[in-house]
Chain A
Amino acid sequence: MDPIDGVQIVHDVLDACLTDRKGRKVGRVDALTLTVTDGAPPRVSTILIGGQVRAGRIGNWLLRLRGAISAMMHGDRDFGVSRVPFSAVRGIGDTIKLDVDAAELPSGHLERWLGEHIIDRIPGSHGEKK
């Protein structure tokens, strides 16, 4: 077989770590979508991060459970899922660099909530000394 000349979507992109434009970790590539147009090559169009998408990779039962909890708590089965256009990719290497701001992505909601409501309340969590 000829050597690979291009990006292998499954090997190089799926599950890869993502960083934002400031180098902060955003999460992992949990799923990807293609845009398929008649008579044109398929284009990698969207990166999906977090929430329902991650649950779906473990199993349909967890997907349904998480969707039901999200719908009950937030009125949205897809709460916490970030959809980043693939055109925001600035580089693919050990990590995938995105031209986005991590703070604006819905997939970081749970981590931010945990940070504000639980981690920040643990004594010493801000590095202060006695």
Chain B
Amino acid sequence: MTSREVPVSQLIGSMVRDTDGRKVGRIEELLARIELHEHGNDYVVAEFHVGEYGLLEALTGGVFARKLAQRIGAVVGYRRFRIPWEWMDLSDPDHPRLNHTRAELEARAES
């Protein structure tokens, strides 16, 4: 079992692709849950929140543009997926990948 350190800043804004190489969206948020232990608490990432910007995708490299797109979400086709950690492959942190297809993710989001 191998462990590696990954800066959160490296993940935020990164494009996530599915197993077929299709774009899913950019990582916007990490949701952590607390695990209580005697020696101290652990904060464990349970979900990755990934935003898809529709028509504005090409313009959303910057933080400001992403925030703006989220605000006017419905107009530009902004959509946010909650991806459980088990579905995310971070073996290459510069290119995070889903280990499922986009269709499976959409089916999960609708269920």
List chain A positions with a Cβ less than 8 A from chain B. 1-2, 4-11, 14, 31-46, 56-57, 86-89
Contacts and interface: CB of A to CB of B under 8 A. Distances in A.
A87 B42 contact: yes
Q: 7 closest pairs, A vs B, by CB?
A: A87-B40, A9-B30, A44-B43, A42-B45, A32-B8, A37-B3, A41-B85
Interface residues on B, range: 20 to 34
B16 to A, nearest CB: 14
Contacts of A6: 31-34, 46-47
A99 B91 CA distance: 32
A117 to B, nearest CB: 33
B57 interface: no
Given A36-B3, A36-B6, A87-B40, A10 B33 contact: no
Interface string B6-33: 1111011000000000000000111111
Given A9-B31, A9-B32, A38 B43 contact: no
B33 to A, nearest CB: 5
Nearest to A40: B1
Secondary structure at chain A's binding surface: helix, strand, loop or mixed?
A: mixed
Nearest to B32: A7
A89 B91 CA distance: 27
A98 to B, nearest CB: 11
Contacts of A10: 8, 12, 28-30
B80 interface: yes
Contact of A35 (B3, B9, B28, B46): B3
11 contacts: A8-B31, A9-B8, A9-B29, A9-B32, A31-B7, A32-B7, A33-B7, A35-B4, A40-B1, A43-B45, A87-B39
Contacts of A31: 7-9
B44 interface: yes
Contact of A34 (B28, B31, B41, B45): B45
A46 to B, nearest CB: 7
A89 B43 contact: yes
A43 B37 CA distance: 14
